[in-house]
Amino acid sequence: MKILVTGSHGQVGSELIKQGRRLGFEMLAFTRQELDISCCDSVQRILKKAGPDIVLNAAAYTSVDLAETNKELAYLVNSLGPKHLATECKKYDIPLFHISTDFVYSGNKLGSWSENNSTDPLNTYGASKLEGDDFIQQISEKFIILRVSWVFSNTGNNFVSTILRLAKVNKELKIIDDQTGGPTWAGDIAFVLLHLVNQYKVKNKIQWGIYNYSGCPPVTWYEFANYICKFGFDTNLLSEIPTIKAITTEEYKLPANRPKNSVLNCQKIKRIYTIEQPDWRTSLKAVIKNWTEINA
């Protein structure tokens, strides 16, 4: 099976390529420079030439705060990009698997967010991603939209890499303690997407639609930072653990608003595909251990 992956240098994209090749799939990796999904001509040309069996869209504009001033670019990549992909995939009857985000939900309720809850993004990033989700649903017949949260890995910029970097040079860190979510390793997201690909390949039977997926248990950024520093210290990546001070969202002013509650209800994907939520602490240990080995 030939699988085309957009955003192949990103956190999830790089894991998709690595795991997919290990599973024996023919992985066609495209960076943004090689396939700009915001450009209709680029999408048409590459899909026609490559002739994939499935498209996995891991490309996105993910700079949440910069999106507030770069709105046009955010919508080009996160909204028009999926629209172009959906249009071409429908033309060739190709399934489209797309990565979305918890930021499509407002975060203004108690309990976890299910796929049936209404969407009401608080910032440009979330709004642009939601518009991309909507285009896919309007155009595609064969699609998976996987909404994930708090993605981390040892590739690129993310909360884990930022905390480790700051912890090496600061004796005190101030971390938000009133936003809650489920950290999710990029490798676990790639595993789920490829599991669904295999379901389609082997059984040719899949329930198309939107699915939530994230790590568990729920945690605040402050609690997550404490685990990162502890695991970093345990593996000698950090020589000492800085003092970590809990602060409120209001105290840490950022250009973009964030959901206070990003906890995703993942019962649908468990019920249909028996996919369990991973314990992000296990994944985090593996990521930091790998970082330690790289920097040894």
How much is the pLDDT for 294?
66
Rg of the chain (C-alpha set): 19
Find the catalytic residue in 75, 125, 222, 227.
Answer: 125
Between CA 183 and CA 186, with CA 184 as vertex, the angle to 5 degrees is 145
With a cut of 50, list the residues of the chain below it in pLDDT: none
Q: Say which amino acid occupies 233.
A: F
Name the 3-class secondary structure at 60: coil
Q: What pLDDT shows up at residue 203?
A: 65
Please tell me the predicted confidence (pLDDT) of residue 267.
Answer: 97
Q: For the beta carbon of residue 138, count every other beta carbon within 10 angstroms.
A: 9
Domains present along the chain, CATH in parentheses: 2-156+182-215 (3.40.50.720)
pLDDT value for 291: 76
* Best CA proximity match to 13, nearest among 153, 124, 137: 153
- Check if 200 is active-site: no
Predicted confidence at residue 201, as pLDDT, reads 81
Q: Under 8 Å CB-to-CB from 101, ≥6 apart: which residues?
A: 125, 126, 129, 147, 148, 149
The angle that helices 221-234 and 280-294 make with each other, rounded to 10 degrees, is 40
DSSP 79: I
User: CA torsion sign, 163 to 165 to 167 to 171?
Assistant: negative
